[in-house]
Amino acid sequence: MQSGVDAGTRHVEFAVRREQERLWRLWRLRPGSPELNLSFAFALRGHLDPYALKRAVLAVSTRHESLRARYRDTSVGVQQIVVADPLVDFESIDMSAPLGSIGPQRSLVEAFAAIPFDLEDGPVLRCRLVKTAPDAYVLAFVVHHIAADGWSLRIMCNDLSTYYSMLPCESASNSASVGQSAPGFASFATAERAREATLLTRHTPYWRRQLAGLRCERSLTDLSHAASIDFADSTPKVQLLSPTLVAQITAFARQCEASPFAVWYAAIHILASDLFGSDDLGIGSVIDGRSMESMQVVGNFLNRTILRMDSQDDPLFWQLVKRANRTVSEAVLHQAMPYNAIVGLVCKQEESSTLLTPRVTLVHGRTEPLSLRLRAIRSYPFRYSYRGSRTELGIHVSGTGSRWRLMVAYSSDAYSSRQASVICKSIPRLMMEILDQPNVRISAIRKAVTSSRRQLA
């Protein structure tokens, strides 16, 4: 394929992070799939200046290198080509005729979020503004995961709010004068790749010990057949967690001198053991690799890792939580090990290891809803459905304070919609039963898990 960067375009080439390289390989396998898209939308009410909004979006792109990047394979590996001028696919649609419901608007946003990206030609950021009535809009954004992580979406919203307030309404001045460059994401990626040999020397001994004897086929699935996977009916299942359960988990974690994530990890380990018939499993997770210097930089700073824990000795649940806490703490200390190298230690397939992914992934994070503060505009999150998972079973626990939710994403070639619903409903029930009797052996909990899933099926 040809690179999308014209010969006359000003650009600079940089190395990509290993996680970006993994996402690039997955995109090459299935370029027409939307499952690597990150999307969010707002309902807006008030007198909006669409022209100023577009210029503010361009200013955000000007500020952040990752939003001006294209990607290609070269003789020295995958490179990100950062162009000097911002380029954002900004589309404005007028649907202000009476519709009777928000159904057509929601369908429009869902279809927009599912449009695949071309990482070679770009852009990696799209924006759609839909006018639904006088002084009423829906504003949707889609960015490819190779260019941004979850924290990046918050940065984009904050920057957009700032730039829109700075721009005079109906002005024709150049938006590039507004957007000021943030610290370059590409420089972070380049520095990380330059340290890779040192990181491998430092972290390989730990991961070799930690993953010794782990069965590859029980813990990982090969995505080399990704082009044939059907994601058409894999809308994630979502369940709000009761404040009582959230408080119980927090209190129990404190009693165990562990993190709430360790409690969730121990419980999901039991669930995965029941699903796959093994006490020794590697569960995937994602660790935020940002430093203080990168907190205001849009980019993908995630480090993917494998949490390996063995419960064959049938410990009590609180003992398993302490074991889980040690596993997580050690993984954080050694998170800089490239994911393909970690997988290579398990399956001895260094060359194809970017296509191997954990069968179960657990992500836990304290997150607040995205917000957009535009001048003279009231904004609200616009709810819509999305789909797709690059892992067989992805369990996401997120929230803040007492407001947390559980989301189960799944691959439709591994689970049916009904099976995913059963798993989503059974997890909070499992947590409540465990926390009522934390001194129960894992074997007894596993029997309860099997019984609970059968009752809900």
Q: Which residues contact 415 (CB under 8 A, 6 or more apart)?
A: 392, 393, 423
The model's confidence at residue 268, banded by pLDDT at 50, 70 and 90, is very high
pLDDT top residue among 229 and 257: 257
More confident residue, 103 or 282: 282
Q: What is the pLDDT of residue 173?
A: 46
Given pLDDT bands bounded at 50, 70 and 90, which one contains residue 105? confident
Please report which confidence band the pLDDT of residue 333 belongs to, taking 50, 70 and 90 as the band edges. Answer: very high
Higher pLDDT pick, 450 / 320: 320
Sorting pLDDT into bands at 50, 70 and 90, what band is 61?
very high
Give percent of the chain with pLDDT exceeding 70. 85
Highest mean pLDDT among 24-33, 256-265, 268-277: 256-265
At residue 153, the pLDDT reads 94
Compute the distance between CA of residue 26 and CA of residue 18 in angstroms, rounded to an integer: 13
> pLDDT at residue 175 above 70?
no
Instruction: Give the pLDDT confidence of 219-250 residue by residue, as tens digits.
Output: 777 666 555 555 545 678 899 999 999 999 99
For all residues of the chain together, what is the average pLDDT? 84
* Residue 176 confidence (pLDDT) above 90: no
- Global pTM value: 0.88
Q: How confident is the model at residue 7 (pLDDT cuts 50, 70, 90)?
A: very low
pLDDT in tens, 92-102: 988 876 554 55
Please tell me the predicted confidence (pLDDT) of residue 215.
Answer: 83
Q: Per-residue pLDDT tens for 75-87?
A: 888 999 998 888 7
- The pLDDT value recorded for residue 17 is 93
Q: Determine which of 148-157, 180-189, 344-353 has the lowest per-residue pLDDT on average.
A: 344-353
Domains of the chain: 11-188 (3.30.559.10), 202-456 (3.30.559.30)
Q: Is the separation of the CB atoms in 72 and 120 below 8 Å? A: yes
350-408 confidence digits (pLDDT tens): 545 556 778 899 999 888 888 999 988 999 888 766 555 567 889 999 998 889 999 99
Higher-confidence position of 445 and 252: 252
- The amino acid occupying position 45 is R
Mean pLDDT on 179-185: 68
Q: pLDDT: is 449 or 364 the higher one?
A: 364
The pLDDT value given to residue 444: 87
